[in-house]
Amino acid sequence: MAFFIGLALATDLAQKGWKLAIVDMNTTQGEAVMAKLGEGNAIFIKADVSKWPPSHRLFRFCIRIFLQMSIFRIFFQRVHTMISAFLHSRLTPP
């Protein structure tokens, strides 16, 4: 039952644009969930979250990865906006 509640929550968050880390010891199940959520919406990490030191490293890893992805996305959104404004100003007739 807990798996289905987690899957429903993950699906809802992915549909709202969240980037997710799917963490499980079951590689087959974890990769299936990742595929269901769509490419680019989730990463799968095989880990045992019942043990603190590995979980602590896992949390730090996820924060670093997703922070880098957010910064990368913001950078390209700004570059796209600047290029679009430049092209619009050059292509608009006087």
Q: What is the pLDDT of residue 62?
A: 74
Both 2 and 16 in a single domain?
Answer: yes
Q: Are residues 66 and 32 in the same domain?
A: no
**pLDDT at 2 exceeding the cut of 50:** no
Total structural domains in the chain? 2
Q: Which domain holds residue 63?
A: 50-94
pLDDT tens-digit map of 11-61: 888 888 888 888 888 889 888 888 888 878 888 888 777 777 767 777 777
5 or 45: which leads in pLDDT: 45
Q: How far is CA 45 from the centre of its chain?
A: 13
Distance between CA atoms of residues 83 and 88, nearest Å? 8
Residues 57 and 79 in one domain: yes
Tell me what pLDDT residue 75 has.
60
CA dihedral 62, 63, 65, 68 (to 10 degrees): 170
How much is the pTM? 0.56
